[in-house]
Chain A
């Protein structure tokens, strides 16, 4: 029997992997991708609860999260490009 706890554990693990990515990597693009992983972890939680509660409001919120992620990616990548054009690097410490 798969319970929401399983999904929460999966989500937490994915979240942690994302956090490790943000902490450890220096390539800003990979940091952004780690943030996407974190957002996905949140979505898994939302959808798991939505399925558990038999109410789609969790999915609605997941859609909002995806919209925000899209906005974040657009602006973030714009910043990366602008940054790269000035500094010619994608490492955050240079």
Chain B
């Protein structure tokens, strides 16, 4: 009906389902999306440039501000990159705690994702259920490092503090609770007819196309590409724990949903193994008093909840700050796929797809 004049709809940056300040300029034919432009940059703080003027330790707390729903993961990613540059051996105990924190963080991030994704599609109850469990994780983090959102929970070479006494018991207790709660989410969504109709066949992307678009993390695995940094290039203690990498088959929104729901379970499994197997020992390796890596460049990637989070750092070997600091944020790479995914779908699917890519704008814009 609008075919003589397409309707240009400006979705965001102030919109309830753009998860922050994403702006999508949609060209609509009726309710059908003909084309979409993704506009980013509303949350740009110049973290990469700032980092080039901070010393190596100070950068840790900037990494908190990138993916603010999974700050500990960014901390680990950065610290491991610097450790790789300095060739520091991290003690086993620290690596185990890092694994636990990363996986707890993955559960927390996925909780936020399942809540908001379901909310975008109109199922409001899952949101509050998921936040209830996320709260438990935030409590665990608060006990570990004193903060609930931006943790600054890592140090180069290890951990700032040992885990508090009894903390591991609480983590195991959380794992027990989480197993039951996951069942609740699945009850509300996985076999819900409306949920199936809203997610199946929406935003289908094949494996090769997903690789071509540079998707990573759950969206890539949802298309059936077995790529998980934790398995392919193990870091922390991932080579010492058992877990499976869930894969999708079709590559639609429902597959991405299933992949993340399975990752929940795998994360709980990893946390349980790692917590039960924390070795005794020091928490910090041998770190020089003045951190000044030799000249050269390093790239190190870890598997953040959103996908492959990489740090590329160049050191000139002279100053106490990086010469060049560059982050490869998974949300940014996944967001590139949005335009391809939403073409031909309806306005209502746009929010489902934004949710299904699980982007955090703090990380996209940095």
A–B in direct contact per CB < 8 Å: yes
Which chain A residues have a beta carbon within 8 Å of chain B's beta carbons? 81, 84-85, 88
Q: Which residues of B contact A88 (CB under 8 A)?
A: 4
Q: Does B1 contact A (CB under 8 A)?
A: yes
Determine how close the nearest CB of chain A comes to the CB of B29; give it in whole angstroms: 13
Determine how close the nearest CB of chain B comes to the CB of A37; give it in whole angstroms: 27
Determine how close the nearest CB of chain A comes to the CB of B228; give it in whole angstroms: 51
Q: Does B3 contact A (CB under 8 A)?
A: yes
Which chain B residues have a beta carbon within 8 Å of chain A's beta carbons? 1, 3-4
The 5 nearest A-B residue pairs measured at CB: A88-B4, A85-B4, A85-B3, A81-B1, A84-B4
Chain B interface helix/strand/loop/mixed: loop
Q: Which residues of B contact A81 (CB under 8 A)?
A: 1
Please give me the residue from chain A that is nearest to B5 by CB atom.
A88
Please give me the residue from chain B that is nearest to A88 by CB atom.
B4
Q: Which residues of A contact B4 (CB under 8 A)?
A: 84-85, 88
A81 to B4 CA separation, bound complex (whole angstroms)? 11
Determine how close the nearest CB of chain A comes to the CB of B257; give it in whole angstroms: 39
Determine how close the nearest CB of chain A comes to the CB of B30; give it in whole angstroms: 13
Determine how close the nearest CB of chain A comes to the CB of B92; give it in whole angstroms: 72
Determine how close the nearest CB of chain B comes to the CB of A2; give it in whole angstroms: 46
A85 to B3 CA separation, bound complex (whole angstroms)? 8
A73 to B244 CA separation, bound complex (whole angstroms)? 62
A81 to B30 CA separation, bound complex (whole angstroms)? 14
Q: Which residues of A contact B1 (CB under 8 A)?
A: 81
Determine how close the nearest CB of chain A comes to the CB of B339; give it in whole angstroms: 28
Please give me the residue from chain A that is nearest to B3 by CB atom.
A85
Determine how close the nearest CB of chain A comes to the CB of B311; give it in whole angstroms: 55
Q: List 5 A-B contacts (CB under 8 A).
A: A81-B1, A84-B4, A85-B3, A85-B4, A88-B4
Q: Which residues of A contact B3 (CB under 8 A)?
A: 85
Determine how close the nearest CB of chain A comes to the CB of B173; give it in whole angstroms: 64
A85 to B4 CA separation, bound complex (whole angstroms)? 7
